[in-house]
């Protein structure tokens, strides 16, 4: 990367204070930045973090007085969002995408590949699959029969998308994730667990990112759906028939049991477990390790197991710490009553 500060300011839509001809070649956090790096300050309240940085230029919130630094670019929006635009340039340089069709890839004659599609070594694309323009399939990816993958998608090594699933445009799936695995459906009879065939599919809408080692099960009959703009962390499990709304954030080790519906912009923090056949309202926030066992109203903030409103939970925890003292008081009262 070789950007003049003038080009940098134009890239992020900011106002430059400093030498427009100075050049940056890298990016780093404030403590680690060198004299050829661009950095950023996320919040004006943390302006003290600027002290001592060696960065060539710092992207800062609009109106921030930043004395003592070499140069600054003020942006009207979020500095970290502006910084992400710079990182995209570095990403393209440091992580070049595969191109073309590798000779060892196995593509069924009936599969359809759009313009600019790249297919890596030992990838497999089954019959009737459709891959949209400019999508990249890294080595050892698997695309099942009649599956549709949209435009500008990025599937990292060892991703599996099984039969008849559908991915929208600009979907990213990180390594080791399996989309369309069989849902966990069994019927017990005479002490034997009989498998219920899972003949539905998974639909993932536009601009979704799936973390590494996710498992998203196909529906028993209809579809499991992940809404547009949702982002999942690593090790997330979404069971069959689940519906996840738009813009949700599912953090590491979240598990959602079958046939549960999440509204839009739900946040499930690390290790949250959601029981089956529930309705979770839009903009619900569940704090880490919450266990949700009943329907949850829109906008609720919950924690604990079973999950309850966060303020109520904190009150209970505060009272719990007083139990030894309370027990001693009750014991003393019982002695007096004797």
DSSP codes of every residue in 250-305: E-TT-EE-TT-EE-TT-EE-TT-EE-SS-EE-TT-EE-TT-EE-S-B-TT-EEETT
What angle do the packed helices 79-94 and 5-12 form, to 10 degrees?
110
Which helix (H) or strand (E) segment holds residue 154: the answer is: strand 154-155
| 3-94 and 106-313, same CATH topology | no
Q: Which fold has domain 3-94?
A: 3.40.1390
Annotated catalytic residue, options 193, 240, 277, 313: 240
* Dist CA 23 CA 36 (whole Å): 7
CA distance to 170, 179, 251, 273, 319, per residue, from 236 (Å): 20, 12, 7, 10, 34
**71 strand-pairing partners:** none
Residue 65 confidence (pLDDT): 84
Express each pLDDT in 211-242 by its tens digit: 999 999 999 999 999 999 999 999 999 999 99
pLDDT attached to residue 338: 86
Which residues 6+ apart lie within 8 Å of 178 measured at CB? 159, 160, 162, 214, 215, 216
* pLDDT given at position 67: 81
- Between CA 253 and CA 98 the distance in angstroms is 30
- Out of 3.40.718.10, 1.10.1240.10, 2.160.10.10, 3.40.50.2000, the CATH code matching 106-313 is 2.160.10.10
Residue 224 in contact with residue 242, Cβ under 8 Å?
yes
Give the domain ranges of the chain: 3-94, 106-313
Q: What is the pLDDT along the chain (338 residues), one digit of tens a residue?
A: 999 999 999 999 999 999 999 999 999 999 999 999 999 999 989 999 999 899 999 999 999 887 889 999 999 999 999 999 999 999 999 998 999 999 999 999 999 999 999 999 999 999 999 999 999 999 999 999 999 999 999 999 999 999 999 999 999 999 999 999 999 999 999 999 999 999 999 999 999 999 999 999 999 999 999 999 999 999 999 999 999 999 999 999 999 999 999 999 999 999 999 999 999 999 999 999 999 999 999 999 999 999 999 999 999 889 889 999 999 999 999 999 98
The partner residues of 279 in beta bridges, in order of sequence, read: 261
At residue 87's C-alpha, the angle toward residues 81 and 89, to 5°, is 120
Q: Is 277 a catalytic residue?
A: no
What pLDDT does 269 receive?
A: 98
């Amino acid at each position: 990367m070789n950007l003049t500060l003038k080009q940098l300011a134009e890239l992020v839509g900011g106002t430059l204070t400093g030498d427009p001809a100075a050049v940056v070649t890298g990016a780093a956090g404030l403590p680690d930045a060198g004299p050829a790096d661009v950095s950023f300050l996320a919040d004006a309240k943390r302006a003290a973090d600027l002290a001592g940085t060696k960065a060539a230029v710092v992207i800062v919130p609009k109106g921030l007085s930043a004395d003592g630094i070499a140069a600054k670019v003020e942006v009207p929006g979020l500095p970290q969002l502006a910084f992400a635009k710079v990182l995209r340039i570095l990403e393209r340089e440091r992580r070049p995408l595969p191109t073309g069709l590798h000779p060892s890839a196995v593509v069924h004659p009936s599969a359809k590949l759009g313009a600019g599609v790249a297919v890596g070594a030992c990838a497999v694309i089954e019959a009737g699959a459709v891959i949209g323009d400019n999508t990249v399939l890294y080595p050892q990816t698997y695309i099942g029969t009649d599956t549709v993958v949209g435009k500008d998608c990025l599937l990292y090594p060892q991703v599996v998308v099984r039969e008849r699933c559908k991915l929208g445009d600009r979907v990213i799936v990180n390594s080791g994730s399996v989309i369309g695995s069989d849902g966990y459906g069994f019927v017990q009879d005479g002490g034997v667990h009989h498998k219920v065939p899972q003949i539905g599919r998974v639909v993932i809408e536009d601009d979704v990112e799936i973390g590494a080692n996710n498992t998203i099960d196909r529906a028993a009959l209809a579809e499991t759906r992940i809404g547009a703009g949702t982002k999942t962390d690593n090790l997330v499990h979404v069971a069959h028939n689940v519906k996840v709304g738009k813009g949700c954030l599912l953090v590491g080790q979240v598990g959602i049991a079958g046939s549960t519906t999440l509204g839009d912009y739900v946040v499930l923090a690390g290790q949250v477990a959601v029981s089956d056949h529930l309705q979770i309202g839009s903009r619900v926030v569940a704090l880490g390790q919450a266990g949700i066992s009943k329907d949850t109203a829109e906008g609720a903030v919950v924690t604990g197991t079973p999950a309850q409103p966060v303020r109520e939970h904190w009150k209970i925890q505060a009272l719990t710490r007083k139990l030894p003292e309370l027990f001693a008081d009750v014991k003393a009262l019982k002695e007096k009553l004797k």
